[in-house]
Amino acid sequence: MKRSDEITVAYAKLLDRIMPTERNERYEDPLQEALELRGFGEITGGGTMQQKNGEIEYCGIDLSLTDLDESVPFVCRFLEERGAAKGSRLEISTDAKNERVVPFGVVEGIGIYFDGVNLPDEVYRKCDVNVVIEEFSRLLEGEGEIRGHWQGPTETALYLYGGSGAKMWELLAEYMESHPLCRGARVMPITPEAD
């Protein structure tokens, strides 16, 4: 490990499909404050990786860290306490040719993709996706949360995070079977452990 007064570049890759504002509120601003308080470095930037269709793949935070023996486990723990998803990783540039990777994350994520073009026109006219979102939030209470969404050309996705992808799906399945707007919806894991 490096001496405590040296600065090391790192990147926290978060398997979190959230917009920049939510990334700042959930992760960046609280982490910046915590790093400054402990003298462990600072955040130097952040970003969002998108797929070709515009859907978010993951987000990340650029860091300059000091005292790697202390700051690396602190950053990983801190981001986990803020709800970082399984499959996230801290990539540390130890020198020009080498990189150390520290995996972290505690919650699982699933994406629910609603068909935006193939349902009867009447369903789109009469059904409000906000009603579905409210019911999802009620059913998931204590087991998960909706952190983000994406609207593509043919479907709309909601991104849910919680202790278990399987448990969240179990809680939503009956409602989804009965609601017209949920017909033909796809459920996909976001994190490696979700199913």
Supply the CATH number for residue 130's domain.
3.30.70.1280
* Predicted confidence (pLDDT) at residue 176 exceeds the cutoff of 60: yes
Residue 3 lies in a domain: no
Q: Do residues 153 and 70 share a domain?
A: no
> What mean pLDDT, rounded, does the chain reach?
93
Residue 16 within any structural domain of the chain: yes
Amino acid 5: pLDDT: 65
- pLDDT for res 99: 84
Shared domain for 71 and 135, answered yes or no, is no
Instruction: Based on the fold, state whether residues 79 and 116 are members of the same structural domain.
Output: no
**CB within 8 Å of 140: residues ≥ 6 apart:** 146, 160, 162, 168, 171, 172
> Which of 53, 81, 104 represents a domain boundary (last residue)?
104
Q: Which residue has the higher pLDDT, 94 or 91?
A: 91
Same-domain check for residues 31 and 83: yes
The CATH number assigned to the domain holding 94 equals 3.30.70
Residue 95 has pLDDT above 80, yes or no: no
- Looking at the structure, tell me whether residues 88 and 137 fall in a common domain: no
How does residue 151 score in pLDDT terms, banded at 50, 70 and 90?
very high
- Examine the domain organization and report whether 125 and 170 are in the same domain: yes
Q: What is the mean pLDDT of residues 99-106?
A: 94
Q: Which structural domain, as residue segments, surrounds residue 124? A: 108-189
CA atoms within 13 A of residue 79's CA, in its CB half-sphere = 31
Q: Residue 92 has what pLDDT?
A: 95
> Largest Cα–Cα distance in the chain?
65
Task: Indicate whether 51 and 13 sit together in one domain.
Answer: yes
Same domain assignment for residues 137 and 173: yes
Question: Confidence band (pLDDT; 50, 70, 90) for 35?
Answer: very high
- Amino acid 97: pLDDT: 73
In a domain, 1, yes or no: no
pLDDT at position 94 is 76
| pLDDT recorded at residue 3 | 46
pLDDT (average), residues 99-111: 95
26: in domain: yes
Say whether pLDDT at 49 is over 70: yes
Confidence of residue 6 (pLDDT cuts 50, 70, 90): confident
Q: Where among 81, 104, 127 does a domain terminate?
A: 104
pLDDT at 96 over 80: no
Amino acid letter for position 35 = L
CB 92 within 8 A of CB 69: no
Same domain, 74 and 27: yes
Residues 117, 78 share a domain: no
pLDDT at 160: 98
Q: How confident is the model at residue 189 (pLDDT cuts 50, 70, 90)?
A: very high
Work out how many domains the chain is built from and give that number: 2
Last-in-domain residue among 63, 79, 104: 104
For the record, the structure tokens of 92 come out as 């540390």
Rg (CA), the chain: 19
Answer whether residue 71 is part of any domain.
yes
Residue 125's pLDDT is 94
